[in-house]
Structure 1
Amino acid sequence: MQQNRTIHTDRYYTSTEQLMRVYDTNSRRMGLADEPAIDEYKEWRSNLVAKLREITGLNQMERCPLEPELIESTQMDGYRREKWTIETEQGVRMPFYILIPQDGNDGGGKLRCMITPHGHASGGKYSPAARTDIPSIADAVTNYNYGYGERFVKQGYIVFCPDARGFGERREWMLQGDEEHAFLNSTCVALNHVAISLGRSLTGMWVWDLMRLIDYIQSRDDCDASRIGCAGLSGGGLQTLWLAAMDERVRCAVVSGYFYGYKDSLLKLSQNCGCNYVPHLWNYADMGDIGALIAPRALLIETGTRDGLNGERGMVNVTEQVAVTQRAYALWGQEDRLHHHIFEGAHLWDGQETDAFVNKALG
């Protein structure tokens, strides 16, 4: 019989309750006012974007030549899949797939563009690109309804499926290899620890890489840079939300499974991935404020009623934040450019209303 090597603890002296009180006292100092005038909104937006650039470390990033390199090209059913890399910072390369419709721009016109960031448990770019020839990716596509990148290319978009830092071919040394757990997962927490200690953040690095991807899109003859959208699930929703908020070149955003109040979903549920955390973010803004930065450009938010990330209050925690974002769209008289699609389901990509919304926004 194995001897018990611990003792029973009757009471735990925790700190979370105090941190929630700190949150209530010190959060959202730069949140959107209840009834701002349009000029006040514009000033607020400029000030909050500047603050977010500071705390994410975006203002530390430096451009370098993109040096695009084609790695491989594969003919698929109805489209061509190319693998490219670009240099986003000096010495930092980002691999990504480009999915190009069968006819490409044979007619001489430029194509609408869609960036499709991935979330966790995706293997990186492989899930949005629907690499179902890889068994573990086939499971992820089934479980989370991944594969939205492939669905966009079959509608005639040229689609960009990047690896975020820490995922796919960008995993750091501690989680490299072909074993399924390592392949599907990421080193994003370790990267964020290092970034925060240098005054940066993983969120900032992710957004920077996507901004550089837009720079590359603008350089291509087959891309209509005036019609760029971004769509992602979960961590891909994080990337989409922040990119659209910080870069006005994104004309349409689809944020799936990532729109809720920080207190319920990231303070009380503090076991969620460390990549969500940006120094001082909660002091200045909540998620609805970040969404409000996108107005009046098109924004579709989709939420599953049973998504555990919504927190203990469920849909209330989501709709409170959507209401903040709605105030910004109302200021512009563009309420129809913001849509909240609620579906009966868990944490996955739904997409029932995505096609019509995106096609209307991007033409």
Structure 2
Amino acid sequence: MVKNTSASTSTEEKQKQRQALYQLLGRLPSRNRPISAKVVAREETEEIVIEKLLLDLNGLELVPAYFTKPKKVTGKIPVVLFNHSHFGQYEVGKNEFVKGRKEMQSPPYALALARAGYAGLCIDSWGFGERSGRPEIDIFKEMLWKGQVMWGMMVYDNLRALDYLETRPEVDTKRIATMGMSMGSTMAWWLAALDERIKVTVDLNCLTDFQALIEDKGLDRHGIYYYVPDLLNHFTTSSINALIAPRPHFGLAGSLDPLTPQKGLEKIDADLKKVYAAENASDAWKLKVYPVGHLETAEMRRDIMAFLKKWL
């Protein structure tokens, strides 16, 4: 059954919806299994400290990650869980966070966030970065045979990454944001919908209405990882994102981006405006559409950093 997003939903009902959404993600490892971290490299510049980590999050394979923070930092600071994009460039993964990519602005987000006083964490998702090598479709098929959902396994790792952040002494656990572009955008709004520890959400170029994508004959525009069995019988894009309310959420999209049909963006915006208004938080939801395709512009970067400054 599709959830209604036209009115305020009780805290208890939201928790039930989160549980239902999580249950659609297949057979996942226990959320209570111990996790651990090992620092394998450390780099410092005048502005930033970069730690390369190996995280044991899922008990199946180690997860390489970067944790970053401003060089000159005292006390606890806010943190951004950064989710890397796809672009069919499986070798990139978490390197997008520290090295950037041509579709995004400079400097890379690790440095931009450090300059703004934030720590950051980015992990390699299944099939990406140091976890690449096996074709994405092979991972998807094997997981499917085992009752696992590839997207669910990716979401699980990021939820456990939140658990790891809570162990970092320099992190203010009451000031956690998540963001990303493209696949990372989708990860940001799924994570925030599922976990209230995330206080601020920024999604760049992938707030896609599922039904609008079908109507636009655009299912081939998203990777195989994107598709969760049985999802449309229970949720819409709007009803997932409604679980983030009343926490601050900024969606950015390009009017020329085929991954986010304009009709779908308009529907999501209308739905979430009602949800946030019902929770007396109209100023905490913002969707801005730019006259561009699937990329980040300088204006988008300025708007993102301003949103983080205001809410985080």
Global fold match (TM > 0.5): yes
Secondary structure of 1:340's counterpart equals strand
Give the superposed CA RMSD: 1.9
Q: Tell me the equivalent position of 1:276.
A: 226
In structure 2, the partner of 1:239 is 187
User: What's the counterpart of residue 156 of structure 1?
Assistant: 117
Corresponding letter in the other structure for 1:328: V
Task: Give the alignment of 1:1-363 within 5 angstroms.
Answer: 29-34=1-6, 36=7, 38=8, 40-57=9-26, 61-105=30-74, 109-121=75-87, 123-130=92-99, 141-145=101-105, 147-172=108-133, 174=134, 187-265=135-213, 268-271=217-220, 272-311=222-261, 315-349=262-296, 350-362=300-312
How far apart in 2 are the matches of 1:171 and 1:323?
39
Q: What TM-score, normalized by structure 1, do the two folds share?
A: 0.78
How far apart, in 2, do the equivalents of 1:45 and 1:59 lie? 21
Q: Is the CA contact (8 Å cut-off) linking 2:31 and 2:160 kept in structure 1?
A: no
Question: How far has the Cα of 1:219 moved from its partner?
Answer: 0.8
- 1:211 and 1:78 mapped to 2: Cα distance? 28
The structural deviation recorded for 1:63 is: 3.2
Deviations 1:125-156 (A, max 9, x none): 0012126xxxxxxxxx2233372232112211
2:105 maps to amino acid: N
Does the 8 Å contact 2:250/2:307 carry over to 1?
Answer: yes
Distance 1:59 1:65, change over 3 A: closer
Which segment drifts farther, 315-324 or 80-89?
A: 315-324
State the shift of 1:266 in Å: 5.4
Letter in 2 for 1:345: V
Decide which moves more: 64-73 or 292-301: 64-73
Q: Is the 8 A contact 2:248 2:285 kept in 1?
A: yes
Cα deviation, 1:238-294, whole Å, max 9, x if unaligned, reads 111111000100000101111121123257212121111000001111111111010
Which secondary structure does the structure 1 equivalent of 2:246 belong to? coil
Does structure 2 retain, via aligned residues, the 8 Å contact 1:63–1:89?
A: no
Q: Which amino acid aligns with 1:353?
A: D
Identity rate, percent: 24
Q: Which has the higher contact order (CA 8 A, sep 6+)?
A: 2
> Does the CA contact (< 8 Å) of 2:182 and 2:204 recur in 1?
yes
Unaligned runs of 5+ in 2: none
Query: Aligned with 1:161: secondary structure?
Result: strand
Q: Is the 8 A contact 1:97 1:160 kept in 2?
A: yes
2:33 aligned partner, one-letter code: C
The answer (yes or no) to whether the contact 2:24–2:230 under 8 Å persists in 1 is: yes
Give how far 1:310 is off: 2.0
For residues 309 and 163 of structure 1, what CA distance do their matches in structure 2 show?
Answer: 23
Stretches (4+) displaced over 3 A:
40-44, 58-63
Query: How big is each residue's C-alpha offset from its partner over 1:158-187, in whole Å with a ceiling of 9 and x where there is no partner?
Result: 111211111001124x3xxxxxxxxxxxx4
Q: How far, CA to CA, are the matches of 1:293 and 1:125 in structure 2?
A: 27
Structure showing greater radius of gyration is 1
Asked whether the 8 Å contact 1:237–1:257 carries over to 2, the reply is yes
The count of corresponding residues between Structure 1 and Structure 2 is 303
Unaligned runs of 5+ in 1: 1-28, 132-140, 175-186
Say if 1:33 and 1:226 are closer, same or farther in 2 by CA, change over 3 A.
Answer: closer
Distance verdict in 2 for CA 1:93–1:60, change over 3 Å: closer
